[in-house]
Structure 1
Amino acid sequence: MDAEFWHSRWAENRIGFNLNDTHPMLTNFWHTLSPKREERVFVPLCGKSVDLTWLSAQHEEVVGVELSEIATRAYFSEHLYTPMVTNLSAGQTLYKFDEVSIYCGDYFSAPVGEFSLIYDRAALIAMPETMRAAYVERLLSVLKSGGRILLITLNYPQDEMDGPPFSVSEDEVRQRFSGCDITLLNTDFDAQAPKNREISNFSEQAWLIIKR
């Protein structure tokens, strides 16, 4: 899976993964991170998620990274924001309006700085298995010691549906984030599977991960 895959998904508006409302697991479990308003929040592979807006009401600085320029521009236009746009090196473009900043470019090279809080609703599950180790390594590299992650994953028989979104099991979460404190906060067995898919079981899980 390469960048062109995601560019084509956005260009063709095949974005069933995008939600029109704030994700309920964000509103229900964000408090478990003991977040402070002044702590910076990182949202990898943020798309045009309205979760950014909810987070920006709770924090002074929310930073996303998104590969697609279509998605990045859509976030600001759909909220009637006119962002400041700055062209950076290494193919990165920074869009900023008030509390929300989005780096449009490659997740692995975006100059985002360090964070105390991370919200991952659709990033790890967007990664094929071969990319997940590198994804997590980069994620933990920008998280301060004692920093917290609210991670949301999906669990279903992978052979019953091609990802993304991919299934990430409990064992894999614990293996990928070994060395961190890991708490399974909730499993939602009533989560909606993608439309037009016959899947025998499908659940969504919320995790609290703390970097030691």
Structure 2
Amino acid sequence: MDAEFWHQRWQTSRIGFHRSRVNQQLQQYWQELAVPDQAEVLVPLCGKSLDMHWLAEQGHRIAGFELSPLAVRDFFADAGFIPQQHRLEHYLCWQAVDFNLFQGDFFQAESLNKRYEAAYDRAALIALPEPVRSLYARLMARLLHPGGHMLLVTVEFAPAQSDTPPFSVSEAEVRRLFEPCFEVTLLGCIEEGMSNPRVASGERTFFNELCFKLVRRQ
């Protein structure tokens, strides 16, 4: 899952992780986080997600981090925005309206010397191989203010073996990764069942989407 892997996925349009509509559990549970209006929401590995537009419609500013310049370009082009660009530390920053998208390696985010009140992750954790997930969880803890909230969406499926994303990340693993620094609450679970093509084909026995509220410990 090195940088070249993701650049190739975007260059060849193999972006099955991109969704053409806003995530259902984001819409259902975001208000439970009670994130203040105008709070800046951190969105790691954001791609060109439509979820960022929905969050902006709730009154939030968006700080997205994305490796692929194609994804960032498409996000603004699809919205009809003409972004300004400038260099900032390890990133090329694209800015328009309420969106600041930082093109570069998310794991360099601390170089910006900034912490956030809230975060949203639908496709970041499940895109990371197991050895990297603990690094990601610790980084998220450092990037959020004490008391900051995060809405985390993962998928869990069986058999869990997979060579490429998305990876299965269970409730037990979420708690193992995040509970040292966060209070973790399972908010919801969508059991896709036969509506999921991998279940329908017999490749998976089940495929669930889990949604968690994480609160950064003081």
TM-score of the superposition, structure 1-length normalised? 0.94
Asked if 2 retains the 8 angstrom alpha-carbon contact of 1:66 and 1:102, the reply is yes
Partner of 1:141: 142
Correspondence 1:184-199 to 2 at 5 A: 184-190=186-192, 193=196, 198-199=203-204
Q: CA deviation at 1:45?
A: 0.3
- One-letter amino acid of the structure 2 residue matched with residue 188 of structure 1: I
- One-letter amino acid of the structure 2 residue matched with residue 201 of structure 1: F
In structure 2, the CA distance between the partners of 1:197 and 1:75, relative to structure 1 (3 Å rule), is farther
Q: CA deviation at 1:140?
A: 1.0
In structure 2, the CA distance between the partners of 1:20 and 1:105, relative to structure 1 (3 Å rule), is same
Q: CA deviation at 1:80?
A: 0.5
Partner of 2:105: 106
Structure 2: gaps of 5 or more residues: none
**Count of residue correspondences:** 211
Asked if 2 retains the 8 angstrom alpha-carbon contact of 1:61 and 1:99, the reply is yes
Percent pairwise identity: 37
Partner of 1:163: 164
Correspondence 1:41-190 to 2 at 5 A: 41-90=41-90, 92-110=91-109, 111=112, 113-159=114-160, 161-179=162-180, 180-190=182-192
In structure 2, the CA distance between the partners of 1:194 and 1:142, relative to structure 1 (3 Å rule), is farther
Further displaced range: 12-21 or 32-41? 32-41
Asked if 1 retains the 8 angstrom alpha-carbon contact of 2:160 and 2:168, the reply is no
- One-letter amino acid of the structure 1 residue matched with residue 170 of structure 2: S
Asked if 2 retains the 8 angstrom alpha-carbon contact of 1:87 and 1:94, the reply is yes
Partner of 2:207: 202
TM-score of the superposition, structure 2-length normalised? 0.92
Q: CA deviation at 1:89?
A: 3.2
Q: CA deviation at 1:112?
A: 6.7
Partner of 2:28: 28
Instruction: Summarize deviations over 1:131-169 as a string: whole Å, max 9, x none.
Output: 001111111111000001100010012545433000001
Asked if 2 retains the 8 angstrom alpha-carbon contact of 1:147 and 1:210, the reply is yes
Partner of 1:39: 39
Matched residues in 1 for 2:174 and 2:187: separation? 13
